[in-house]
Amino acid sequence: MPDAITLSMIALVASFSSLGLSSYLAWRDRAHLGAKCHVREHDRTGEYSSLFVTVTNRGRRPITLRWLTGVYADGSRGGVSLAENGVKLQEGEYYETEFGKFDGIMVNGDNMSPLIDFFIEDSSGNRHKIKGSRANVQLVRRSKHPFGVRTHG
């Protein structure tokens, strides 16, 4: 029969293992968004004309996306509603949207302040960073895609 110290050590290892496993499972049991942005080149003009955004729920809990919010050069913020009641994403589901160089989110306010960066906002009010958004906004803003030519389908 093992002595009391050996049994205590085995119980200690088992309890720490249980704590680690339950902490890991609790961490995974939540909504976790992965969002990325790509620029699209127009097939006729060859210029960057639109931004394509993909948002994926990598977590276990459902999440509702409400707004595509922008930060503008004058420090203001604005946004576009994704749907009337939001877009609900279950585990592993994704949402895609696209907006062009001349769409409403690209400028804000009376002075037409240009977009600097944008985020996805959920129903809890949490803002989620979109990978590559700032750099890709700059590419689309600097492009010479002409006004009046459709930017995306």
Residue 69 falls within a domain, yes or no?
yes
Residue 45 falls within a domain, yes or no?
yes
Residue 71 falls within a domain, yes or no?
yes
Residue 1 has pLDDT above 80, yes or no: no
CATH assignment at residue 110:
2.60.40
- Asked if 106 and 67 sit in the same domain, the reply is yes
Residue 10 falls within a domain, yes or no?
yes
Q: Report which of residues 108 and 94 the model is more confident about.
A: 94
Q: Mention every residue, 6+ apart, whose C-beta is less than 8 A from residue 92.
A: 56, 57, 58
The residue segments making up the domain with residue 11 are 1-30
- Asked if 65 and 129 sit in the same domain, the reply is yes
C-alpha span between 97 and 72 (Å, rounded): 20
pLDDT, position 28: 75
Residue 150 falls within a domain, yes or no?
no
Tokens of 73: 């050069």
pLDDT one-digit tens code per residue, 45-59:
888 889 999 999 998
Mean pLDDT score, 105-121: 88
Residue 12 falls within a domain, yes or no?
yes
pLDDT, position 111: 80
- Asked if 9 and 50 sit in the same domain, the reply is no
pLDDT, position 102: 86
- Asked if 95 and 111 sit in the same domain, the reply is yes
Residue 116 has pLDDT above 90, yes or no: yes
pLDDT one-digit tens code per residue, 13-46:
999 999 999 988 887 777 789 999 999 988 888 8
* Cα separation values, 74 from 109, 110, 121, 147, Å: 9, 11, 21, 23
Residue 99 has pLDDT above 70, yes or no: yes
Tokens of 38: 């790509």
- Asked if 17 and 73 sit in the same domain, the reply is no
Give the number of domains in the chain. Answer: 2
Mean pLDDT score, 99-110: 85
Residue 152 falls within a domain, yes or no?
no
Residue 153 has pLDDT above 70, yes or no: no
